[in-house]
Chain A
Amino acid sequence: MSQKLIIVGAGQAAAQAVQSLRADGFTGPITLIGDEPYGPYQRPPLSKAYLLGTLERERLFLKSDAFYQETNCELVLNASVTAIHRSDKTVQLGDGRKLSYDLLLLATGARVRRLKCPGADLPGVYYLRDIADANALQAVFSSGKRIAIVGGGYIGLEVAAVAAKRGLTVTLFEAMDRLLARSSSVTVSDFYAAEHERAGVTLKLRTGLEAIEGNGKVERIRAGGQTYDADIVLVGIGVLPNDELATHAGLAAQDGIVVDQNGMTGDPSIFAAGDCTRHIGRDGTALRLECVQNAIDQAKHVALAITGKPKPYSEVPWFWSDQYDLKLQIAGMIRPGDHAVLRGDPAARKFSVFHLRDGVLAAVEAVNAAPDYMLGKKWIADRLRVDPVRLADTTIPIKEAV
């Protein structure tokens, strides 16, 4: 009997789920519900090539219209799901419609964390998560304007790089004592700080935002006890998982919808994938990932589970970031207490930092060093024990270092 599947959310995980479900033999009707006017598209370029203006909107879309016809996937766009009724297996839409499901996949993603300080609602304060955000920011991105960026994470740094390139005057405020503090090693943080300063970005570390001020629009910001003039404020202070639908339906969620290794929630007919989830990682601790890799891989594992070929999820997370002419590629997760091993020289703008946990490779950060990243990713998957001395020795080719 063919089952009816509803996917809530129209991002990377949703698109992958449709593709994988069909490839794995799922024959039932699929309905994909998204709250934006578009089908699934790539978000990473929004803070990079799309913002810079070198990649047009058409090229963001993950699939063509014909794909959804061919896969018999109905797109319901501009629509929000307001509730899941597990008792009669329906979802409630914002316009009052009720749709029934046999299987439900929650791919609701994440939303930006918003500022709460005085002036946070002034015109001129921007966030960056979707196409509309990127368009709004791009529209005011003109040479000579002063942009204050709040948050030294990936979004803040990637926007800083684009803004510097476009001729804006850029000041970046970070409350912690270094950039990328949550995800990177000190070596990588310091390297990117130097690169941004070289490009003309003013960095204000250990400088928490206090208020945004202006007469009807952004004119200046107050941070660290001082005042800075600004025409635009871009806020990149992280995201929150969209897990409320699940919570209200009585499913377990704690900073992310809790899923097992098959992407299944506590209800065997409800799955979740991507940024909205919390799962048990390869090291046995629960984590929530915000990345393309996890969206793709969790969706693939959900498709396998739904089509009766379950395969426990234990993929190595990977990420990338493009800033200026630098490509940062990261595999694995860095934890406090990991032993960092530097390979290469940051001054040469080509190096990597390997992270060992009890002698086993746990993560690698590579800057313009793709071989280190690709081999590192493989070694992490294999839980390989590595020799830090050989790893650090650049006279030994990376392929022979282990």
Chain B
Amino acid sequence: MAKVTFITHDGQEFAVEIALGWSLMEGAVKNRVPGIDADCGGACSCATCHVYVDPAWLAMLPPKNDMEEAMLDFAAMAAAPNSRLSCQIRVTSDMDGLVVRIPVTQH
């Protein structure tokens, strides 16, 4: 398990334990973190699980592939250099302590 903190747009913090190998999105949904809609369930087809990764953690994450990059371009809230789709990040033990922020809306 890795502990990941999701911070909503209005500052609420949700620190959740996510099973290794699951996606960040699955961890958020499983733990009822609001603001991660994930309509397509992790198929990289809806861009409704957008998060902003705490800059300190950015380099620790595996890089985006072309598909994720392209989908992020069209997320409801503008993508930033630290934007990721949380369904595309598989949780590993070295992500313990990761902090991500959730945009105000996914639609």
Query: Which residues of A are in contact with B by a Cβ distance under 8 Å?
Result: 42, 44-45, 59, 62-64, 66-67, 70, 292-293, 296, 318, 320, 322, 327, 329, 368, 370-371, 373-375, 378
- Residue-by-residue, is B66-92 near A (CB-CB < 8 Å gives 1, otherwise 0)? 110011011000000000000000000
Listed from nearest, the 3 A-B pairs whose CB atoms lie closest are: A374-B74, A370-B70, A320-B45
- Residue-by-residue, is B43-64 near A (CB-CB < 8 Å gives 1, otherwise 0)? 1111100000000000000000
- Check A374/B32 contact, CB under 8 A, given A42-B41, A44-B43, A322-B43: no
Q: Which residue of B lies closest to A41 (CB)?
A: B41
Cα distance, A178 to B31, chains bound together (Å)? 44
Q: Which residues in B have their C-beta under 8 angstroms from that of A292?
A: 39-41
Q: Are A327 and B67 in contact (CB under 8 A)?
A: yes
Q: Are B40 and A370 in contact (CB under 8 A)?
A: no
- Which of the residues B31, B41, B67 comes within 8 Å of A44, measured between beta carbons? B41
Cα distance, A62 to B44, chains bound together (Å)? 16
Shortest C-beta distance, A24 to chain B (Å), equals 14
B residues contacting the other copy or chain, number (CB 8 A) = 20
Q: Are A59 and B39 in contact (CB under 8 A)?
A: no
- Which of the residues B22, B40, B47, B66 comes within 8 Å of A59, measured between beta carbons? B22
Interface-central residue, B22, B30, B66, by most chain A CB under 10 Å = B30
Shortest C-beta distance, A25 to chain B (Å), equals 15
Q: Are A374 and B71 in contact (CB under 8 A)?
A: yes
Q: Which residues in B have their C-beta under 8 angstroms from that of A375?
A: 74
Q: Which residues in A have their C-beta under 8 angstroms from that of B66?
A: 370
Q: Are A329 and B39 in contact (CB under 8 A)?
A: no
Shortest C-beta distance, A329 to chain B (Å), equals 6
- Check A67/B73 contact, CB under 8 A, given A59-B26, A320-B40: no
Q: Are B67 and A368 in contact (CB under 8 A)?
A: yes
Q: Are A327 and B45 in contact (CB under 8 A)?
A: yes
Q: Which residue of B lies closest to A295 (CB)?
A: B39
Q: Are A318 and B32 in contact (CB under 8 A)?
A: no
- Which of the residues B32, B40, B43, B73 comes within 8 Å of A371, measured between beta carbons? B73
Q: Are B32 and A64 in contact (CB under 8 A)?
A: yes
- Check A374/B47 contact, CB under 8 A, given A64-B32, A66-B32, A70-B32: yes
Q: Are B67 and A370 in contact (CB under 8 A)?
A: yes
Q: Which residue of A lies closest to B71 (CB)?
A: A370
Query: Which residues of B are in contact with A by a Cβ distance under 8 Å?
Result: 22, 26, 29-32, 39-41, 43-47, 66-67, 70-71, 73-74
Shortest C-beta distance, A376 to chain B (Å), equals 10
Q: Which residues in B have their C-beta under 8 angstroms from that of A378?
A: 74
Q: Are A371 and B70 in contact (CB under 8 A)?
A: yes
Shortest C-beta distance, A14 to chain B (Å), equals 15
Q: Which residues in A have their C-beta under 8 angstroms from that of B40?
A: 44, 292, 320
Q: Which residues in B have their C-beta under 8 angstroms from that of A374?
A: 47, 70-71, 73-74
Shortest C-beta distance, A56 to chain B (Å), equals 9
Shortest C-beta distance, A16 to chain B (Å), equals 9
Q: Which residues in B have their C-beta under 8 angstroms from that of A42?
A: 41
Q: Are A371 and B74 in contact (CB under 8 A)?
A: yes
Q: List 19 A-B pairs, Cβ < 8 Å.
A: A44-B40, A44-B41, A45-B41, A59-B22, A62-B41, A64-B31, A67-B32, A292-B39, A292-B41, A296-B39, A320-B40, A320-B43, A322-B43, A370-B67, A371-B74, A373-B45, A374-B47, A374-B70, A374-B71
Q: Are B26 and A318 in contact (CB under 8 A)?
A: no
Q: Which residues in B have their C-beta under 8 angstroms from that of A318?
A: 45-46
Q: Which residues in A have their C-beta under 8 angstroms from that of B29?
A: 62-64
Q: Which residues in B have their C-beta under 8 angstroms from that of A373?
A: 45
- Check A327/B44 contact, CB under 8 A, given A59-B26, A292-B39, A296-B39: yes
Q: Which residue of A lies closest to B38 (CB)?
A: A62
Shortest C-beta distance, A33 to chain B (Å), equals 22
Q: Which residues in A have their C-beta under 8 angstroms from that of B73?
A: 371, 374
Q: Which residue of B lies closest to A319 (CB)?
A: B45
Shortest C-beta distance, B17 to chain A (Å), equals 12
Shortest C-beta distance, B51 to chain A (Å), equals 18
Q: Which residues in A have their C-beta under 8 angstroms from that of B43?
A: 44, 320, 322, 327
Cα distance, A44 to B70, chains bound together (Å)? 22
Cα distance, A59 to B30, chains bound together (Å)? 9
Cα distance, A374 to B31, chains bound together (Å)? 29
Shortest C-beta distance, A130 to chain B (Å), equals 16
Cα distance, A64 to B74, chains bound together (Å)? 29
Q: Which residues in B have their C-beta under 8 angstroms from that of A322?
A: 43
Q: Which residues in B have their C-beta under 8 angstroms from that of A44?
A: 40-41, 43
